[in-house]
Every structure is written in C-alpha cells, then in structure tokens.
Amino acid sequence: MRLTAPPHALADGLVRLRPWTDGDLDCVREAGADPRIPDGTTVPRAFTPDAGLAWLRRQPARAESGEGLSLAVTAEGEDRALGAAVLMLRTQPGVVGIGYWVVPGARGRGLATRAVRLLSSWALGDGGMARVEAWVEPDNAASLRVLAVAGFRQEGVLRSLLSFPDRRADAVVLSRTAADG
C-alpha cells in the first residue's frame, strides 16, 4: 500500500497543512532548539542553514516513495510554518502512524490538535487508511491531551518501545479508526 499526498493543502479555517518549502528554515531552527523535538524526530539539534535545508528537502521524499507524508502546520491566513504533521505507513496494511510537533512560540493555540484532527480525518477518508495510531511517552501530558481532543482513544502501553539517543521509553498507544468517524 502507498500513501499518496492530498492534491491540495488541508485546512479547517484556523489551521492549514501544506508542503514544506525552503522558506520554512526558521521553523526548523526553532524546532531544533526545543529540548524534546529533535529526540523524537529527524529535526537537526545542531542547527546550521545547510542542515535545516537538508531536513526540509528530505520531507517530500516520504510522499514520493509512498511511505509517508510530512506537512508544515500553519495558521490559516499566514504562510509561516509553525510545526509539522506527519504520517508514516506501518507494516500492517491500512495503518499509519501520526506524529506532530509545534514550535514553542506557537504552543497553546490549539494548532497541534487541529492539525492532528485534519490529517487523521484525511487519512481515514480520502487517504484510504483504516487506522491512524500514535505512540506517546506516558509523561507527555500535552501530547496525550492533543490526541484525546482530536478523537483518539487510548488502547494501552507498549513497554520500552521508543528509542531515543540516550534512553528507551514506554509508549502509550492511541488510535483513531474509520469506524470512530
């Protein structure tokens, strides 16, 4: 199964998800300075313009290969990237994992919740997926809240699933399915 990018930006009137551009370098810089974002993503912690541009230019490759989709999160009416929303195919047919982050300066505005709802709704509809799942560290209360408000249901905990540069961590598994609406 392949994951095909939506033919247009996804929007709900307050948030828009669009392809990344070279102009989104400031977003990558701010994300790399966050204490948690680089640990769980490929965002460069040691930011340089070259490293940031390399990250931005890798994002379309996920869609081109059919293995995933990485979109910039923007506020509707603005083009400045404030975060990321990502889908990656899992090994089970019809299942994708969702990931997301918002730069510290844009948090608390509901952008992550809206982005997760938009992207998971698209995946379960036009994207043809049956299940969207998220793996979150148990102590990441903000992320667990984002997913709950976006319509995800908690299923359980997978012990020592997540691998970080200096540690392993449990993952709370949450999902949203086509049957959830």
**pLDDT at 3 (0 to 100):** 83
User: Would you place residue 82 in the very low, low, confident or very high pLDDT band (cuts 50, 70, 90)?
Assistant: very high
Q: How far apart are CA 77 and CA 108, in angstroms?
A: 18
Please check the confidence at residue 1 and state whether its pLDDT lies above 80: no
Q: Which of 150, 148, 168 is nearest to 159 (CA)?
A: 168
pLDDT, tens digit (0-9, with 9 covering 90-100), for 17-69: 999 999 999 999 999 999 889 988 999 999 999 999 999 999 998 888 888 99
pTM for this entry? 0.94
Query: Could you state, in order of their start, the residue ranges of all structural domains in the chain?
Result: 10-180
Please check the confidence at residue 125 and state whether its pLDDT lies above 80: yes
User: Residue 65 belongs to what H/E stretch?
Assistant: helix 49-65
Tokens of 75: 């506020």
Q: What is the DSSP letter of 8?
A: S
* CATH superfamily of the domain spanning 10-180: Gcn5-related N-acetyltransferase (GNAT) (3.40.630.30)
Question: Which segments of the chain are extended strands (E)?
Answer: 10-11, 15-18, 68-75, 83-89, 95-102, 131-136, 153-164, 167-177
Q: Residues 103-124: what's their mean pLDDT?
A: 96
**pLDDT at 151 (0 to 100):** 97
